[in-house]
Amino acid sequence: MKISKLFLVLGVVLAMGLMAAPALAATAVDTDSKLLDDGVTTVTWDSSFVDLAYVGGATTMLINWTVSSASGTADYNGNWHERGITPRAKNDPAEGYVREVSEVPNTSATFSATFTELHYSEDESIDMGNAHFTIRLDVDIDGDTITDQTIRCGVNCHVETPV
C-alpha cells in the first residue's frame, strides 16, 4: 500500500513538472533585410531558426527586428500567415502548425512551431520538419507615428530529432 502511494505521489510530481516546463527555444541562425521604398532605410529581422534537439511540443522563436534610420521604428501589426510545413513527402510528410505567442512593441514577437509528425530522412538518419511563415511589420521611417510602409518578413524554423 505504501509503495503504491509513493508511485502515485511521484507520478503527480512528475506530471506537474512536465506541465510547468517551459517550451524549448529554437536558436536564431540567420537574418534577412529589406530596403524600403525610400531607398535608404533598411529593416532587418531574425529569419531562420534551428532546434537540433527537438523532443516534441512547441519550440519558440523570438523574432527581433531593427530599423536602420535613427528615428525609425517597426511594429508587428498582428498579421501573419503560415506558409506551410515541409517536407511534404508523399508517404511520410512532416505536419504541424505555427502559433503567435506574444509581442514586445517596436522590437520583437514570439511565435511557436509545434510538429505533430516529422519526416524521416534516410540520408541523414534523422526525423525533421520545417515551418514557414510570414509576419507583417508597420514601419515608421521618420518617427512621426504614421506608418510609411508595411512589409512582409519571411521566417523559417527547422527542427531535427536524431533517431
Q: How confident is the model at residue 157 (pLDDT cuts 50, 70, 90)?
A: very high
Q: Residue 42 half-sphere exposure, CB side, CA atoms within 13 Å?
A: 7
Nearest Cα neighbor of 143 from 50, 67, 78 is 67
Identify whether the C-beta of residue 77 lies closer than 8 Å to the C-beta of residue 150: yes
**How much of the chain is helix, strand and coil, in % rounded to 5?**
10, 60, 30
Nearest Cα neighbor of 135 from 42, 58, 62 is 62
Give tens-digit pLDDT for 4-54. Answer: 443 333 343 333 333 334 457 999 999 999 999 999 999 999 999 999 999
3-state secondary structure of 46: strand
Model confidence, pTM: 0.82
Provide the 8-state DSSP code for 68. S
**β-strands 24-25, 58-67: how paired?**
parallel
Give tens-digit pLDDT for 48-63. Answer: 999 999 999 999 999 9
CA-to-CA distance for 45 and 153, rounded, in angstroms?
Answer: 7
- What pLDDT is recorded for position 11? 41
Is 90 a residue whose pLDDT tops 90?
A: no
Identify whether the C-beta of residue 153 lies closer than 8 Å to the C-beta of residue 108: no
- What pLDDT is recorded for position 89? 84
Dig out the grid coordinates for 55 from the structure: 523532443
Q: Which domains does the chain have, with CATH numbers?
A: 23-162 (2.60.40)
CA angle 85, 89, 91 (to 5 degrees): 125
